[in-house]
Amino acid sequence: MTSPIPFDLIVIGSGPAGQKAAIQGAKAGKQVALIEQTREVGGACVYQGTIPSKTLRESALQMVRFLQATEVFEFRMRDDVKITNLMTRLDRVVRAHGKFMKDQLTRNGIDCFHGRAGFVSDHEVRIQKIDGTAALVTAPIIIVATGSRPRVPDNIPIDHEHILDSDSILSLVYLPKSLTVLGGGVIASEYASIFALLGVYVTMVDTADRPLKFLDQELTDEFCEAFEKTGGHYRGGQKIATVQWDGCSKVTTVLESGETLESEKVLVALGRVSNLEHLHLQATGIQPTTRGLIPVNHHCQTTVPHIYAVGDVIGPPSLASCSMEQGRRAVCHALGLNPGVAPEHIPMGIYTIPEMSSVGLSEQEATAKYGGATVGRARFHEIARGQISGMTHGLLKMIADPKGEQLLGIHIVGEGATELIHIGQMGLLHNMPIDRFIDNIFNFPTLAETYRVAALDIAKQRQH
């Protein structure tokens, strides 16, 4: 190998975190090398995660709305419907997104290398290309954004055909008749509710007594009710002993209680692990945590000050939205640029059916911090738009201080939750008093009106 090619900034990984880091570097006038081991840029977000799962979700919702319009249409879903038929828009969505990203990188003069990156020293990175050749690059600042992949537990023989993970679930050809989902987190709950809505007999199994335990319980109660109405089942407080395909038609999941569950397919969604194994981090002196994450400070700076790590590789919240911002902020910090005020309130969007979203303090957190909380509620069925659109299953929960004056948090379950939440987020950012939501005029009929109804509910409690 010849002497290293010099750059101002090296970014490893082209997912949301790496991409935004590279763009920020280029916008600051730096010569940037972006290294991506796969043929395409975009990362898990575009090819295995966010975009494919949300496209399937959208198709499922559209199809079910159509099938439910029985007063107008008389249709039923074919028994042999293929997943690809449901994902007709996926290819278009992914290609459009991929092209947009590639063009953006080209426009900003970023040098893209397709190959696997590994550190040679704390300033040098070796790129092992697909054609067998290698290149060496060097820079004073390096950003690691190598993301994560599904965790594969030792006792579960994932074969990507009968026992699948979240990367392989969308390679299913036909919709299975039954699906056991192992896990109760975001990815497990999202896929479980999508497949249940599509008419698959879904059973979710997890150790926790309810799915998405980190969320406000009223939200998860609403989710469980809707999930069960579509024919889904949640089995909490269960540990998995073994999972085995019978070589013919079914997979048997044996629980530690001795109970067995049989299904055509199993989805394993038991967490994610950081992609560190090819990085040769030992060449830099960075020591991963016992959970296999790269430890960083609040600037996403590692123990080697000129090496930063951003996105899923540093662990929670492991969201595309946060990963992008971490990438941008890390590069600003490294280059001595002002990244702006650090986001205090990170919204959480969960694309289950129905959707859930929250920002700010939960009722329990507010109570612990202020010695109490006033809670206002607005149900979608009380709102004209909810009735008109048939979106009557939903709740907006507004959390205020004990006096019921200051907004502290918003929690929403129901279609549109991930969009609606941003009104509350802006309110929190500007320390909005509850009364602003009452004085304000909202378009009629909208779901946004739930903010006014919940604020009025708080004001009513103030008078007592």
Ligand X SMILES: Cc1cc2nc3c(=O)[nH]c(=O)nc-3n(C[C@H](O)[C@H](O)[C@H](O)COP(=O)(O)OP(=O)(O)OC[C@H]3O[C@@H](n4cnc5c(N)ncnc54)[C@H](O)[C@@H]3O)c2cc1C
**Contacting residues toward ligand X, per CB under 6 A:** 12-18, 35-38, 43-45, 48-50, 53-54, 116-117, 145-148, 166, 187, 275, 278-279, 311-313, 318-321, 323, 349, 351
Query: Are 370 and 64 a contacting pair, CB within 8 Å?
Result: no
Min dist. Cβ of residue 463 to ligand X (A): 40
Nearer to ligand X by Cβ, of 224 and 356: the residue is 356
Nearer to ligand X by Cβ, of 226 and 324: the residue is 324
Q: CA angle at residue 53 from 147 to 346, to 5 degrees?
A: 60
Nearer to ligand X by Cβ, of 223 and 437: the residue is 223
Min dist. Cβ of residue 286 to ligand X (A): 14
Min dist. Cβ of residue 352 to ligand X (A): 10
Nearer to ligand X by Cβ, of 21 and 434: the residue is 21
Helices 50-68 and 88-107 cross at an angle (nearest 10°) of 150
**Cα–Cα distances in Å, from 350 out to 99, 159, 412?**
26, 27, 10
Query: Are 326 and 311 a contacting pair, CB within 8 Å?
Result: yes
Min dist. Cβ of residue 187 to ligand X (A): 5
Token representation of residue 325: 């911002």
Please report where in the chains the tokens 């320390």 appear, as a residue. 431
Nearer to ligand X by Cβ, of 36 and 216: the residue is 36
> From the CB of residue 156, how many other CB atoms can be counted at a distance below 10 Å?
18
Q: CA angle at residue 409 from 407 to 412, to 5 degrees?
A: 125
- Of 127, 111, 123, residue with least CA distance to 26: 111
Nearer to ligand X by Cβ, of 46 and 407: the residue is 46
Nearer to ligand X by Cβ, of 34 and 375: the residue is 34
Min dist. Cβ of residue 321 to ligand X (A): 4
Min dist. Cβ of residue 226 to ligand X (A): 18
d(CA 123, CA 137): 8
Nearer to ligand X by Cβ, of 254 and 273: the residue is 273
Min dist. Cβ of residue 127 to ligand X (A): 8
d(CA 213, CA 329): 30
d(CA 266, CA 191): 11
**Cα–Cα distances in Å, from 305 out to 27, 105, 180, 278, 334?**
22, 26, 45, 21, 9
d(CA 292, CA 287): 9
Nearer to ligand X by Cβ, of 38 and 168: the residue is 38
Token representation of residue 408: 């502290």
Min dist. Cβ of residue 326 to ligand X (A): 8
Query: Are 424 and 398 a contacting pair, CB within 8 Å?
Result: yes
Nearer to ligand X by Cβ, of 212 and 398: the residue is 212
d(CA 341, CA 281): 31
Token representation of residue 97: 């997104």
* Residues in a beta bridge with 124: 138
Min dist. Cβ of residue 323 to ligand X (A): 4
Min dist. Cβ of residue 267 to ligand X (A): 10
Determine whether 341 is exposed, middle or buried from the number of CB atoms within 10 Å of its CB (0-12, 13-18, 19+). exposed
Torsion angle in degrees (nearest 10) through CA of 336, 340, 342, 344 = 170
- CB-based contacts of 78: which residues, under 8 Å, 6+ apart? none
Nearer to ligand X by Cβ, of 406 and 418: the residue is 418
Min dist. Cβ of residue 403 to ligand X (A): 35
